[in-house]
Structure 1
Amino acid sequence: MPDNSDVPTLSYEAARDELVDVVARLEAGGEPLERSLDLWERGEALAARCQQWLDGARERLAVAQGQVTQGQVAQGQPAPDGDEDDA
């Protein structure tokens, strides 16, 4: 089993770039089965890390736009009355 303990510390760009490399290696073939499985698991971990970054960025944008109510991203809904400054 591969050691993916470093994945949670990767930046979005580092995770994405390594994921691109993993996919290219898997698509090229030629790796032994065990190594291919390790690469697949690494790729899954990297993809999940990228998704975490994207979800976090989406939430930060929603907060900046005032679209978050009670900790949830309001899907295209305006903020409730009284939650925005009218000044």
Structure 2
Amino acid sequence: MAETPIEEMSFEDAIRELEKVVTQLDRGEVALEDSIKLYERGAALKARCEAKLKEAEEKVAQITLDATGEATGAKPVEGL
């Protein structure tokens, strides 16, 4: 089965796969070359998760509130 390209993964999919990668590396049952590949994929998955979290934080920060504190809508986030 081919690996899903990381840039196409949702946050949830990326975090699940990252957990699997960490588990495999923690067990130490992977050959050195495979460990290096897993580590590289794990680093890319971590970066994807961080990017998706930042994107979500920016969207939340753009929510506008009225005088009573109720959400009234959202301003567009630049660059998304």
- TM-score bracket, shorter-length normalisation: 0.7 to 0.9
Higher-Rg structure is: 1
2:39 corresponds to which residue?
Answer: 40
Q: Distance in 1 between matches of 2:43 and 2:64?
A: 31
> Which stretches in structure 1 are left out of the alignment for 5+ residues?
72-87
TM-score normalized with structure 2 length: 0.74
Alignment of structure 1 residues 2-41 onto 2, 5 Å: 6-41=5-40
Q: Deviation above 4 Å: which 4+ runs of structure 1?
A: none
1:5 Cα offset (Å): 7.5
Percent identity between the two aligned chains: 38
1:81 corresponds to which residue?
Answer: none
Per-residue CA deviations over 1:20-56 (Å, capped at 9, x if unaligned) read 0000000000111000000000000000000010000
TM-score normalized with structure 1 length: 0.69
1:58 corresponds to which residue?
Answer: 57
> Which stretches in structure 2 are left out of the alignment for 5+ residues?
66-74
Over aligned residues, Cα RMSD in angstroms?
2.1
2:48 corresponds to which residue?
Answer: 49
Letter of the 1:42 counterpart? R
